A and B are shown apart, each in its own frame.
Chain A
């Protein structure tokens, strides 16, 4: 469908041949991402899927959405959108990650992590069921039975 008569236009602004190659690359990448899902990479699966998705999104934005040839302002607007999405995601993940450490069930997992300064010396296996038992533990070796009575 593309003839040589319009090469001077396609040279500047994509054209059917460029779009067809973009489509081919996108479909190959889709096949790769589906194939990668059947290989167990552990946590790497999400990373691989997101990296491939980002490559595909970049191809769509550059060639189908003409950002490659457009005035820079449109690309800057688009990048700003993703930048703010990244900030949003980053602070949410930081919050989620740190908040989890202070949940009650996490406070008796580590053997060498005292509940309060000097209350649970290293080596004593902390079997405290709840953090409320911590004040009672001060200098008292009968802490565990006391906690069980509750």
Chain B
């Protein structure tokens, strides 16, 4: 934790102290302000874990109910596309943490550079996802009553439609998180460009970074469960 050089009282403006403009009056120190924001972010991340956790449990239940259909349906997913997206997201997590590291060390240009790379990776992920979705739409591998895939081994089973209901729900929700992440990343990219972040104030970069890592972490579980099940 880098130590801050601001006054420890934060008694407001015009008191003669060196006073970080980001320091809010109800926090004793900048460090306390940072830690508080971080706890709030972690609480939010836990709700994300539980949100996706519920879907994972549902997926597990349905896989136990329709094991043959799920096995057959998962072969419609393209493994190399899932693996490529995994590597892209892992790499974007690396550039994200590098952006946080740069912001913390007052390296403005590097922060902007790494944030831009992260956003590009997020876009690559969505492009790959688009090709995956387009293929499934063509083949009729759609969720619920929209399912009209052909050549199913167990004709008339609800298992295939159930698999794709979970597939589109979970990857779609995850994709929505990627889009939200891009918006958040653009926001801190522009703020970083204006030079708003310093070693004593880089909270937004750090918190968006945490969010981006949880999106990566969820994909770490999504990938083997959907693309690699036996």
Known A-B contacts A20-B94, A60-B93; A74 and B38 likewise in contact (beta carbons under 8 Å): yes
A40 at the interface (CB under 8 A from B): yes
Partner of B101, one of A12, A19, A92: A19
Closest to A86 in B: B53
Partner of A77, one of B46, B53, B214, B229: B46
Residues from chain A with a CB closer than 8 A to the CB of B224 are 33, 37, 49-50, 52-53
Q: Mark B211-230, 1 if CB is under 8 A from A, else 0.
A: 00110110011011101111
Interface range on chain B (Cβ under 8 Å from partner): 35 or more
Considering the chains assembled together, what is the distance between the CA atoms of A112 and B210 in angstroms?
57
Interface locus among B20-28, B82-90, B146-154, B184-192 = B82-90
Q: Which of B38, B42, B64, B93 has the most CB of A within 10 A?
A: B42
Partner of B213, one of A14, A60, A89: A60
Residues from chain B with a CB closer than 8 A to the CB of A19 are 94, 97-98, 101
CB–CB B217/A77 < 8 A: no
Q: Mark B33-55, 1 if CB is under 8 A from A, else 0.
A: 00100110011011001100110
Closest to A33 in B: B224
Considering the chains assembled together, what is the distance between the CA atoms of A58 and B60 in angstroms?
22
A113 at the interface (CB under 8 A from B): no
A85 at the interface (CB under 8 A from B): yes
A147 at the interface (CB under 8 A from B): no
A88 at the interface (CB under 8 A from B): yes
Residues from chain B with a CB closer than 8 A to the CB of A50 are 221, 224-225
A146 at the interface (CB under 8 A from B): no
Known A-B contacts A64-B93, A88-B54; A56 and B220 likewise in contact (beta carbons under 8 Å): yes
B61 at the interface (CB under 8 A from A): yes
Would you give 24 A-B contacts (Cβ < 8 Å), ordered by A? A9-B2, A23-B94, A26-B93, A27-B90, A30-B87, A34-B83, A34-B228, A45-B229, A46-B230, A49-B229, A50-B221, A53-B221, A56-B220, A57-B221, A61-B217, A63-B97, A64-B93, A64-B96, A64-B216, A77-B46, A81-B49, A84-B50, A89-B53, A92-B57
Q: Which residues of A contact B (CB under 8 A)?
A: 6, 9, 12-16, 19-20, 22-23, 26-27, 30, 33-34, 36-37, 40-42, 45-46, 49-50, 52-53, 56-57, 60-61, 63-65, 69-71, 73-74, 77-78, 80-82, 84-85, 88-89, 92-93, 96
